Amino acid sequence: LAQLMLTLLSSCAQYSSNKEINDPLESMNRSVFKFNQGLDKYILKPISTEYEKLPENVKKGVSNHVKWASTPVTIANSVIQLEAENFSTSSIKFLLNSLTLGLYDLDPETKYKTRDFGSSLAKYNVSPGPYIVLPILGPRSLRHFSGNIVDQSVSNGPKNHSYNSTTLPMSILSNRNRYSNVIEDIYNSQDPYLKAKILYTENRLNSISSTKLLEQQKQDEQDEF
């Protein structure tokens, strides 16, 4: 399925600017978005409501574990992006928190930037490609989705499905609970699909862009006027 989508979508028009989101598959995307809304309403939201009743330290432990389990992806992509400080910081913190399987953060003061292969592609000027909405996983750019496939393949290996069976469901549940207010705000908007698309695009840009790139983008926008 992934190979089919990559082949199909690679022929679509390229992303032109941050102010114009490339969405050539809007009709299909809206259908998938509507499906995700139904899935959220009847399955994820009720589960999230019960999850919210758990003690805060339990929910924090789940969130910590999810972040810890994804750290090897950050470590690998920090190397690709030549970010030595981020590589060393994330590596040391991953090894330290391995003592608790990530359930308890033994060094909460140490911070690092989350990196994935999609952000590595962005650093080397690969176009985001068209906007797509995936079942369950939600909004992505083609570049982001392609990066997800590579990250999962590299971090888990061909015979290890532990991430799919445990950490991925935990991640979906933890994020649904964490961003419940944002999700409700999207659903209550005049056009939930459009609002979700804009919020995703802006958040993704901010998460992968360095300060230098953001400053260059602002300068380019000023030059247009």
The pLDDT value recorded for residue 13 is 35
Q: Hunting for tokens 């698309």 — which residue is that?
A: 197
Burial (CB count within 10 angstroms: exposed 0-12, middle 13-18, buried 19+), residue 220 = exposed
Q: Which residues pair with 141 in a beta bridge?
A: 131
Integer Cα distance of 100 and 142 in angstroms: 35
pLDDT at 219 over 60: no
**Phi and psi angles of residue 29, each rounded to the nearest 5 degrees, phi first:** -60, -40
Q: How confident is the model at residue 62 (pLDDT cuts 50, 70, 90)?
A: very high
3-state secondary structure of 134: strand
Single-letter residue type at 149: I
pLDDT at 19 over 80: no
| Mean pLDDT, residues 92-118 | 92
pLDDT at 91 over 90: yes
| Mean pLDDT, residues 194-219 | 73
Tell if the pTM clears 0.85, that is, is over it. no
The pLDDT value recorded for residue 171 is 86
Mean confidence (pLDDT) of the chain: 82
pLDDT at 142 over 60: yes
| Mean pLDDT, residues 71-98 | 94
Integer Cα distance of 77 and 81 in angstroms: 6
The pLDDT value recorded for residue 154 is 67
Share of the chain above pLDDT 90, in %: 58
The token duo for 49 is 């409501």
The pLDDT value recorded for residue 157 is 52
